[in-house]
A = this chain, B = another copy of it.
Amino acid sequence: MPLQKIDRRTLSDAVFDQLSREIVDGRMAPGVLLPPERELVEVLGVNRGAVREALKRLAQSGLVQIQQGGGTRVLDYRRSAGLDLLGALMVRSDGGVDVHVARSVMEMRRALAPDVARLCAQRRDATTVARLHGLVDAMASSADDLAQLQSLSLEFWDVLVHASGNVAYQLAFNTLRETYEQIRGALVIVMGDEVSDLQGHRAIADAVSSEDAPAARAAAEALVDHGTRRVFELLEALAREDADRRTKPTEVLETADAADPANPPNTSKPPKGGPE
């Protein structure tokens, strides 16, 4: 048994996670004052520096508002938080997936993907075309391996997004990918049809290659719409299930770590060191 790597979080990270969860779950309603820093120090059993680092991050996330002398007040994250909070909202405190958030992410993906492909076709360059075709070829030779296809498809979109020349799309893609990664293990089956749709991917690559923006847009719309509908069906089934037995949380969908402990060697990029 390969000894699992110890997950070392800093204290301020732990404080941040705990407080943000309290706020996001609504146990600390918007408008109320957080306990003073010195009280949090006592309750949590950590030093004030760790508390302050966490509070600063909460303020940056739009979850609280800090005012010297006035205390730290909880905000309504729906009106003050940015897209980066999505990852925290996706996973519920019980470890399950928030179907409402998941559906929102899929809707956003469907709205953006066609425009990403369109812009990429407009502003494409030689290396991008080569990389896209290379990825499609790689997908062709790794059929059956859904996890591998999922990674390749993700990389396919990564190339598209970064060749679109739209920095907002690039950043939003990073956020969405981070959110998506949390449940990729659970989605690998549902998204199977989309990630193994070789023709769909090739159609986009070809359209980009021939600088045909409308065709790229249409191809992307078709590809993404397919998987989106499948996920919608699953989510609706889960929502019904959830409504039936209110007592127990959703069990079908689990966090990536739980559902897919053996992390496949997919991300060829350096250790994702973003929001730690």
Contacts and interface: CB of A to CB of B under 8 A. Distances in A.
Interface residues of A, number: 58
Interface of A: 10, 12, 49, 52-53, 56-57, 59-62, 64-66, 68, 73, 75, 78-86, 89, 100-101, 103-105, 107-108, 110-112, 114-115, 119, 162, 166-172, 174-175, 178, 269, 271-276
A168 B83 contact: yes
A108 B161 CA distance: 12
A184 to B, nearest CB: 17
B111 A275 contact: no
Contacts of A170: 78-79
A51 to B, nearest CB: 11
B62 A275 contact: yes
Chain B CB within 10 Å — which of A66, A85, A269 has the most?
A: A85
B171 A275 contact: no
A78 B274 contact: no
Q: How many copies make up the complex?
A: 2
Contacts of A82: 82-84, 171-172, 174-175, 178, 274-275
Given A101-B168, A174-B81, A59 B112 contact: no
Nearest to A275: B60
A115 B119 contact: no
A265 to B, nearest CB: 19
